[in-house]
Amino acid sequence: MQNAILAGLLGGVACSLIGVFVVTMNLSFIGVAIAHAAFAGALCGAWLGFSPQAGAFIFSLAAVAVIGPLADRGEFNPDTPIGIIFSLTMGLAFLFMGLLPGPKTQALELLWGSILTVNNFDLVLLFIVAVIVLTLVMLFFKEIQAVIFHREAALAVGIPANLIFYSMLFLTGSVITASLRSIGGLLIFNLILNPAAAAYQLTYSLRIMFILSASFGILSTWLGLLISYLFNTPSGATIVLVSTVIFIIAAAFSPKRKVKKWKNELESALKN
């Protein structure tokens, strides 16, 4: 349980901070593709007999290396290459799952996650990734803010926007890899998206959004862990459901809804 609490803290912070970038840059689908690539890589590692984390890391980086240039230079919507990678990795994941000899226990753990089974290596990996993400956000906050606001404009004024963009994609893959065992390949993206989306509903400040997102991520993991302990439910699924409830509450009380309503009323009045 101590390891699970620490994993919830580290994973909640890392996933939620990356989630702010995913939400504000409208890259939600990219997280799904990378998550499934990491899941396929982990299953490949289990099938071939090496570390599932190493396989997840290799596959997620390969997905980033393909998605990034295609989204930048392709003559079609970025959702197209992302969708292709998503379908490919899903097919590979179930292929490797079918090729695994014997019981599929390890595959199911990677699929649904089990935060109660994280070991010291998992905690060290989560700690390293969380510290790297937090440090980069603090050191390069202004540059990240500029890239989020307008990537081309940031590039025009001398900010290495492409480097920041690809670094964030790389960190997304790293965070997913580090959190795979605790949350699961099919659920990890929700923990990246939901806390950041909830924070986005409550503030216009990027700095406050980072803080709220990290807080919601920690709250989701700890409260989900408590509920799963009390009611004997799957921990990964419970954590994701809690994060979804937090988003629903944030959306219900979002000040942005009122602003949008006033804007629509004003536009309607001007037309009349």
CA distances from 120 to 3, 4, 123, 179, 194 (A): 8, 11, 5, 13, 27
SS3 78: coil
Tokens of 184: 């699961």
Cα separation of 218 and 5, whole Å? 9
Domain CATH code at residue 56: 1.10.3470.10
Q: Are 154 and 25 in contact (CB under 8 A)?
A: no
Tokens of 29: 């689908």
**DSSP character at residue 188:** H
Tokens of 202: 């409550």
Domain contains 144: yes
Domain contains 206: no
| 154 contacts: CB under 8 Å, gap ≥ 6 | 143, 146, 147, 161, 164
Domain contains 224: no
Domain contains 105: yes
Domain contains 109: yes
Per-residue pLDDT at 72: 62
In 3D space, the residue among 222, 116, 238, 113 whose CA is nearest the CA of residue 178 turns out to be 113
Q: How many CA atoms lie within 13 A of 97 on its CB side?
A: 18
Counting the structural domains of the chain, the total is 1
3-state helix, strand, coil in the chain (%, to 5): 85, 0, 15
Per-residue pLDDT at 188: 83
Domain contains 11: yes
Q: Are 218 and 13 in contact (CB under 8 A)?
A: yes
CA distances from 99 to 34, 85, 105, 106, 108 (A): 22, 21, 13, 13, 14
Cα separation of 227 and 263, whole Å? 40
Cα separation of 31 and 193, whole Å? 8
Per-residue pLDDT of the chain (272 residues; tens, 9 = 90+): 888 889 889 988 999 999 999 888 877 777 788 888 988 998 999 889 888 889 999 998 898 888 777 666 544 456 676 777 888 888 998 899 888 887 777 777 777 777 778 888 888 999 999 999 999 999 999 999 998 888 888 888 888 988 888 888 889 889 988 888 777 776 788 889 999 999 999 998 999 999 999 999 999 999 998 998 899 888 888 888 999 999 999 998 888 766 555 555 555 655 65
Tokens of 72: 């930048």
Domain contains 272: no
Q: Are 182 and 122 in contact (CB under 8 A)?
A: yes
What are the φ and ψ backbone dihedral angles of 101, each rounded to 5 degrees? -75, 150
Cα separation of 61 and 63, whole Å? 5
- Domain of 27 in residue numbering reads as 2-193
Q: Does the reported pTM lie above 0.95? A: no
In 3D space, the residue among 19, 10, 77, 12 whose CA is nearest the CA of residue 215 turns out to be 12
